[in-house]
Structure 1
Amino acid sequence: MLAAISSFPMITEDMLKNISIEISEYSFCYMENSKKNFLKCERISDDSVIYMISDNEGIWNIDEHNLSINRQYKFNNYDIIFGEKGVACSNSVVGIAVVWTSADSKQRGIIEVGEIKNTCEELNINMEYFFDKAQLRGDVEFTTILYIKKPGNPLNNEQHLANSSGCIVVEIDKFYLRLDGTGSMFPIYEINDSQKPLWYLNCEWEDPRYDDFAECFSIYINSGHKNYKYLDKTKTTYNEQLLKEIMASALTIVITKLRSESFWDSIVSEAAEFENGSIAQAVNYFITTLGWNASKPELLSYSIREFFDERM
């Protein structure tokens, strides 16, 4: 997205095409026992610009693990951004960065990717950045920008160019990642209470078309229960199938409960639109995109378990 109004020349769409910029898709991973584990990244729906990440091993979550973001950049013919007909002074340095914003965690920052000088060599840059656990929440926006990193000494014909440190000359692209709500499909929390069962479900809402999925639906695993050893991923007794059964049972309850709502037919419609992150949007995604069969409780239970067996 380009700035519409500026007091100095900005990089235009045509200039971007002539620069020849090749950028890979974002990839994500986390470290576990000194091993790098890659996460799956996919759109929350075919017509959405928002992506979500998931772990095929069922280990990663934002509260307990770090998150690495990776991307490759290749630049050619970038010397055209310098000089009188460009946007920066001939001897200045243009920086490449990714600006990230996490509204839910009330944090934002800048990832320095690299820098561009007035040369003709092909520029290849690999970006890798680690976020601390729980640093990001909810919807996170990543914007790749070019900016004036080091101002130059403008020539007589370059007085009109951007030459202030930090001045953004173009936004190249944006990427939206959802880490909570429908992005983190199954909110799971731990408690420690020897008087409670191994797991239980929180499932309360006022209007599922607007109420947030992650706030109204959550599974609680009880580390104080005698059988918690079968759900503890750090123990050899860990039983992945038991965790699948718990999640499948919980989701079957939620969707079956939602069937009693008067607007159920609209929830299962592929054309339905609901509030971002809402319960209705999440269930619509499960049914229309993931293909869960909600026509009968027994078919719903079967299709959810089938999903977990294939995806986890």
Structure 2
Amino acid sequence: MSFRYELLSSTNVKKADLRTVTAGSVEYNSLADIKRTAKFTIVDDGSINFLSDRIKPYARLKMPDGGYAEWPLGVFIPTTPPRKADVADVVTREIEAYDLLQVLVDDKVADRFTLTTGANYIASVKSLLDGAGIASQNLTTTDKILPADRDWDPGTTKLSIINDLLGAINYRSLWFDENGVAIAQPYVTPEVRASEYVYRDDDSSVIFPNVQHSLDLFALPNQWVLYVSEADRAPLRSVYTNSSPNSPTSTVNRGRTIVAAPEQVDAADQATLDALTERRAFESSQVYESVDFETAIAPYHSDSDVYTLEFSALGLSAKYSETQWDFELKAGGRMRHRIRRVVSV
């Protein structure tokens, strides 16, 4: 395995191969606002315009025929760190870089931003992306429209507005794929998604020892309340109670109700609010069971992958959703994973 780097323009068009990177790493956190980040050590020869250029790393695997299979690892906006010179007068920079969600964090509305009743949610997201100069988009369409006017204060980031709109129709938060394409998709619980691949501690295992598993159910709620309260529309309320006899944390098995703090949200209608409440219940249950482990580098991982982990020493054999991964851009490096178990409670 090896790595190569491309220097892109502000519109993601390749300008040149970047041959001055001496080290790097990539990290993905599906729970963060800016999900994909990177670090690069470069020899500064003046080839990068830090005000507009972007960096796109690739992982490469040499094939038996001498060619390479390649995986892009993201499109990154570099910061402008200090220049350092060593004893041999070689000038380097230690760069921190962020995926294109940074564009939507930096781009804020200058005045109060209002969307009127009847505006289509995804059309509004597209308009915000277009206005921020994000041309590459893959947005799942919807027929849902705003049931009432909605506005945001001056200074609100476009990312916050977009994620508010996506959350109101039960979509995942916005993310960018490995090629810098903006993705907006309906949320689907990991338990109903198919497992994409398997990590198994067998004779051909790529899993390193020291797998860590944690589970804490002590304060896990078994009832969730979400509501919509706006001056110009009828109030909506949704309650989801876990009363399943098959769940160890349910009201039935615990003999008591543990209520999560009621939460005010924006939802297009009652059906969406009910779906959001069920989603809150599912996501709240996930945070208490996790596995941390290391493997050889697998550069095909992306956003919130769902896969099966089988690790006999800890009795693990189930489907999990990945929340975080990272690895250094060097041959022989290790990839660190944090996953959550997909459970129904």
Give the structure-2-normalised TM-score: 0.25
Give the structure-1-normalised TM-score: 0.26
- Greater fraction helix: 1
When Rg is computed on C-alpha atoms for both structures, the one with the higher figure is: 1
- Greater fraction strand: 2
